[in-house]
Amino acid sequence: MTDVDTTQYPVIKAENLKKYYPVSQEGFLKKPLSLKALDGASFTLNKGKTLAVVGESGCGKSTLARLITMIESPTEGNLHIGGINAVGNKKDKKILRRKVQIVFQDPYGSLNPRKKVGTILEEPLKINTDLNASQMREKALHIMDKVGLSKEQYNRYPHMFSGGQRQRIAVARALMLNPDIVVADEPVSALDVSVQAQTLNLLMDLQDEMNLAYLFISHDLSVVRLISDDIMVMYLGRPVEQGDKNVIFEKPLHPYTMALLAATPHVDVKSRQKRIRLSGELPSPLNPPPGCTFHRRCAYMTDICKHKPPHLREVANRMISCHNAEKLINNSH
């Protein structure tokens, strides 16, 4: 492996990550269009911290997850995992992949129904380590204990568990290789509300104990408020507002963030009073509006927004991509 002291670096440093997909058009000679699923995401994530990625369905959250977990390569941009360049780095790929594990949304679909819990948990060890059968079993039982599963459950099949317990198995599987980073892609949105809180508490306890970093993908701002340190709000493939959670929840400046907060019960009473509503549908990323891609849905749109794309810049202790950010600081929302 590349000779770098990985403890000195952020666990993730992403610079201008982009992912474009070719989409074929109807018609014989027509060139494929380029769908900008992710169009320039930059952030740093440190050990033991949580960055939440929020936004409507289709804004590029899962695409970002696939790039960070190295399931796909970016079209452009840099990705460093623990200080090591992960883009085009075949030599370190196996080791880097061990450092980043993922928990998916659906605890029913993500576990093989034909395999017992023990087998599911030991699979990553079989592929990635030289441990013998009893060492693997010991490790599996140890992690099961950490996530609140008993050793009697080692020989059971996934269908014998509730949704919340299955998600514990998925979390346990993600932890088997001692990762630095867990990408959690809507990990509680398929669970009953009563089980959501337990699962979030478990994730937070594990983070404290194992100094894990989470890239936490969610559309639910009440969940994000509980679990995150930093937030990145995405719209149509681009971050529009990002920074410290408290700064953004206290005073969201991007009209899209305001609208998301206003639509979330129990999160931000002030902006709900203002009743900023998101109108209209998310535009197609194949044909994004000119200027600011949010302008047609924006309650604060001005002329410049219709033709000039805003750039991400620092305003009031966060990064924001809005022409009118300064004016909105004194807005009474």
Ligand X SMILES: Nc1ncnc2c1ncn2[C@@H]1O[C@H](COP(=O)(O)OP(=O)(O)OP(=O)(O)O)[C@@H](O)[C@H]1O
Contacting positions for ligand X (CB under 6 A): 21, 23, 35, 37, 55, 57-63, 285
Backbone angles phi and psi of 181, in degrees to 5 = -130, 135
**Is 64 or 144 the residue whose CB approaches ligand X more closely?**
64
For every residue of 163-222, DSSP letters joined together read HHHHHHHHHHHHHTT--SEEEEESTTTTS-HHHHHHHHHHHHHHHHHHT-EEEEEES-HH
Give me the least distance between CB of 114 and ligand X, in Å please.
27
Of 143 and 278, which has the nearer Cβ to ligand X?
Answer: 278
Residue 101, classed as helix, strand or coil, is: strand
Of the two residues 216 and 300, which places its CB atom closer to ligand X in the complex?
A: 216
Minimum CB separation from ligand X for residue 130, in Å? 36
The SS3 of residue 13 is: strand
CB of 159 to ligand X, least distance (A): 25
DSSP codes, 16-52: EEEEEEEEPPSSTTPPPEEEEEEEEEEEEE-TT-EEE
Q: Which CB atom, from 107 or from 285, has the smaller least distance to ligand X?
A: 285
Does residue 183 contact residue 170 with C-beta atoms inside 8 Å? no
Question: For residues 180 and 185, which CB has a smaller minimum distance to ligand X in the complex?
Answer: 185
| Shortest reach from residue 33's CB to ligand X, in Å | 10
| Nearest distance, CB of residue 268 and ligand X, angstroms | 22
Nearer to ligand X, 31 or 332 (CB): 31
**Quick check: 40 and 50 in contact, CB under 8 A?**
no
Nearest distance, CB of residue 22 and ligand X, angstroms: 8
Distance CA 237, CA 18 (A): 9
